[in-house]
Amino acid sequence: MNQYPLWRYVFIVSIILLGLIYASPNLFPQDYSIFVSFQNRAENVDLIENKINERIDKIGVKPKTIEKSDTGLIIKFDDHQSRSTVMQSLNSVVDSTEAVLAYGLSPTSPKWLELLGASPMFMGLDLRGGVHFLMQVDTQAVKVQKLNQTFEEVKTTLREQKIRYQSATIDRDRIKISFGSAKLLAKSKEALNSKIETIDIFSESDKEIAIAVKENYLVESLENALQQNLTTLRNRVNEFGVSEPVIQRQGQSRVVVQLPGIEDTAQAKKIIGATASLEFRMVFMDGDIRDATSGRLPVGSQLFKKIDGSPVLLEKKVLLTGEYVIDASSGFDQQSGSPAVFITLDGKGSRIFSKVTRERIGRPMAVVFIEQRKGKRFEEVINIATIRDQLSKRFQITGLANTENARTLALLLRAGSLAAPMEIIQERTVGPTLGETNIRSGYRSVIIGLVCVMFFMLFYYGKFGLFANLALLVNLVLIIAVLSALQATLTLPGIAGIVLTVGMAVDANVLIFQRIREEIANGNTPQMSIASGYKKAFSTIADANITTLIAALVLFSFGTGPVKGFAITLSIGIVTSMFTAIVGTRAIVNLLYGKKAKLDLKI
Tens of pLDDT, residues 189-241: 888 888 888 888 887 788 888 888 888 888 888 887 788 778 778 776 766 55
Which long-range CB contacts under 8 A does 243-249 form with residues at least 24 apart? 243/35, 243/102, 243/103, 243/104, 243/105, 244/104, 244/122, 244/489, 246/125, 246/489
Confidence check: pLDDT of 121 > 90:
no
Using alpha carbons, select from 185, 174, 177 the residue that is nearest to residue 212: 174
Average pLDDT over residues 428-439: 72
Q: What percent of the chain has pLDDT over 70?
A: 88
Which residue did the predictor score with more confidence, 393 or 275?
393
Of the candidates 511, 516, 512, the one whose C-alpha atom is nearest the C-alpha of residue 526 is 516
User: Which residues, 6 or more positions from 385, have their beta carbon under 8 angstroms from its beta carbon?
Assistant: 364, 365, 398, 399
Domain(s) of CATH 3.30.70.260: residues in the chain: 29-108
Overall average pLDDT of the 477-485 stretch: 91
The mean pLDDT value for 88-93 works out to 80
**Span 139-160, mean pLDDT?**
83
How large is the average pLDDT for residues 267-286?
A: 73
Give the residue range(s) of CATH 3.30.1360.200 domains in the chain.
Answer: 274-426
DSSP-assigned letter for residue 242: B
| Mean of per-residue pLDDT scores for the chain | 81
Query: In the prediction, which pLDDT does 41 show?
Result: 46
Of 245, 229, 249, 256, nearest to 100 (Cα)?
Answer: 245
- The arithmetic mean of pLDDT across residues 488-500, rounded, is 83
Q: What is the pLDDT of residue 19?
A: 92
- Residue 242 confidence (pLDDT): 62
Higher per-residue confidence, 482 vs 266:
482
Chain-centroid distance, C-alpha 210: 41
> The domain 29-108 is classified under which CATH number: 3.20.20.240, 3.90.180.10, 3.30.70.260, 3.30.160.20?
3.30.70.260
Q: CA–CA separation, 46 vs 321, rounded Å?
A: 37
The CATH class, in words, for 274-426 is alpha beta
Specify the pLDDT at position 474. Answer: 92
Q: Comparing 273 with 147, which gets the higher pLDDT?
A: 147
Give the phi and the psi of residue 304 in degrees, each rounded to 5. Answer: -130, 175
CATH topology of domain 6-25+432-593: Multidrug efflux transporter AcrB transmembrane fold (1.20.1640)
pLDDT attached to residue 42: 45
Phi, psi angle pair for 573, to nearest 5°: -60, -35
Residues 568 and 498: their CA atoms lie apart, in Å, by 10
Lowest mean pLDDT among 111-125, 230-244, 293-307, 468-482: 230-244
Quote the pTM value.
0.62
Region 32-61: what's the mean pLDDT? Answer: 76
* Domain at 140-218, CATH class: alpha beta
Q: Is 330 exposed, middle or buried (0-12, 13-18, 19+ CB in 10 A)?
A: buried
Q: Residue 496 — pLDDT band, cuts 50, 70, 90? A: confident
- Region 569-595: mean pLDDT is 87
